Amino acid sequence: MTPRDVEPRLLRAFLAVAEELHFTRAAARLYVAQQALSRDVRRLEQTLGAALFVRTTRAVELTPDGERLLPLARGVLRAHEELAAAFAGDTAARPLLVDLNTDGPGTARTVLDRARELAPDCELMARFESGLTYAAAEIAAGRLDVSFGYADGLDPALRARLAQAPVRYEPLAVVLSEGHALAGLESVPLDALRGETVYAGAGNPRTLEWTGLARELFAGRGIEPAPPAPVAMGKDEFRRVMVKTGNPVLATVDFADMPGCVKRPLTAPVPLSPLAMVWRKGMSHPGLDALRAAAAELGAGRGWLEVPADSWLPALTPIALTQDVGGG
């Protein structure tokens, strides 16, 4: 085999290790055995006649040749995906996997429902990955197609591999147990949370972007982020853990209602989470077109991208979230 005949599988193996800098994590990401992954990387190195990684017992690092190959490998794999899509026939036949974060009401669900109306012949399959940090990595790896969340809170290297479009500035809320002292209020001023310990996903590796947004919101207001807690799956487990810890939970105003709990919008100022839709750069699918059209239609019709005067936005909300970035 010569460099002209390199198999895409070998480049995928290289790319996974280059981005994870860890063979075990890279193997898990590709759903292959670590031994098989190492074999593919060695085969690529032999084909190119260059060492791509420096391996020690404590770390994996790219060599200069590995750094040189990285953008080339991404370009080749992107072109390979575009080639496959161009000759795949009816692309609508392939289901589009759309992560809604949680199985319940919300902005992402509203966009998906409208997209299904706009493109009834497309199969838009909902997924529930419980956090954009995890979902974005799955999109980059090709195991998921679209997700929603605070995209500007992602690691820049991961965000650079994604296209994104703004969907909504989502008002935030707090979920309280019915017996909490603030539960009787119609809305909760941020100052009323001073001295409270509020849970925002700390310790959950899938939701790092959400935890980061919360820490920025809490800073200087006397609100303490709750320490890591077991990740609760399902309403019953969520409510049980909430009652046990007694901590309020940061959420969006569309967060599902929970038995034994109340949800109250936050005010003074109204904190907003910049929700974006993200997908893999270069991806083409009629279902994606429908999702983008649905988000634009709903945003314009419902004022989702309007920012009230008395509001708060994270400092990381850049120009990137006020326009379509990296589309394709």
Per the listing, tokens 């409208």 go with 114
Which contiguous run of DSSP H or E holds residue 14? helix 8-20
pTM of the predicted model as reported, rounded to 2 decimal places: 0.70
Q: Which residues pair with 274 in a beta bridge?
A: 169
Residues present in the chain in total: 328
> Domains (ranges, CATH) in the chain?
3-86 (1.10.10.10), 90-328 (3.40.190.290)
Residue 132 identity: L
- Report the amino acid identity of residue 163: A
According to DSSP, residue 95 is labeled P
Buried b (16+ CB within 10 A) or exposed e, 287-318: bbebbbebbbebbeeeebbeeeeeeebbebbe
Cα 294 to Cα 291: distance, rounded to the nearest angstrom: 5
Q: What is the pLDDT, as a whole number, of residue 93?
A: 55
Distance in angstroms (rounded) separating the CA atoms of residues 52 and 62:
6
Is residue 170 within 8 A of residue 273, CB to CB? The reply is: yes
* Residue entry with tokens 């790092």: 208
pLDDT of res. 49: 92
Pairing of strands 96-99, 124-127: parallel
Report which of 7, 86, 99 is spatially closest to residue 44, judged by C-alpha positions: 7
Tens digit of each residue's pLDDT, the chain (328 residues): 666 778 888 998 999 899 888 888 888 777 778 888 999 999 999 999 999 999 887 789 999 999 999 989 988 887 877 676 666 554 445 789 999 988 788 999 999 999 999 999 899 999 988 799 999 999 988 889 999 999 999 998 888 889 999 999 999 999 998 889 999 999 999 999 999 999 998 888 889 999 999 999 999 999 999 887 666 555 666 666 666 667 899 999 998 887 788 999 999 999 999 999 999 988 889 999 999 999 999 999 999 999 988 899 998 654 344 334 444 4
10 Å Cβ neighbour count for 67?
Answer: 12
Q: For position 175, what pLDDT does the model report? A: 92
